[in-house]
């Protein structure tokens, strides 16, 4: 529903446990700047027990998938790793440092502070 309203893919900026901000990717904002914004607001304006996250997320409307928005340098590293992969018929080693991609389901909030 949000993707329909904003016209496609978007960023999710966790403002606090009470609200999140939605920024259409078509607005052309830099994800690293958005992350800096979230961190600045969390440090100076949000009470510690009301911080939801220090990360920006992105929603892919085509895939219907919400994921952590990786900074540009991490995305470049992943692309380089992808290009350097061995063909499928060769044995591959497992990178223990890479975390599996996670799918996020909606979380129900009880309304209680922790």
The answer to whether 71 and 35 have CB atoms below 8 angstroms apart is: yes
Model confidence pTM above 0.75 = no
Q: How far apart are CA 33 and CA 83, in angstroms?
A: 27
Please give the full DSSP string across 44-85, using - where no structure is assigned.
HTS-GGG---S--EEEETTTTEEEE---HHHHHHHHHHHHTP
User: What pLDDT, in 10s, does the model give residues 59-112?
Assistant: 999 999 999 987 654 444 454 455 555 554 444 444 445 545 555 555 555 555
- What distance, in Å, lies between the first and last C-alpha atoms of the chain? 30
């Amino acid at each position: 529903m949000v993707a329909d309203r904003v016209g496609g893919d978007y960023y999710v900026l966790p403002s606090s446990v009470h609200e999140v901000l939605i920024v259409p990717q078509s607005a052309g904002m830099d994800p690293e700047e958005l992350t800096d914004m979230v961190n600045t607001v969390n440090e100076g304006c949000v009470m510690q027990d009301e911080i939801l996250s220090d990360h920006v997320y992105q929603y892919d409307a085509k895939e219907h998938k919400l994921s952590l928005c990786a900074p540009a340098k991490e995305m470049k590293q992943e692309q380089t790793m992808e290009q350097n992969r061995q063909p499928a018929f060769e044995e591959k080693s497992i990178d223990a440092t890479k975390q599996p991609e996670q799918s996020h389901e909606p979380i129900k909030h009880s309304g209680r502070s922790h």
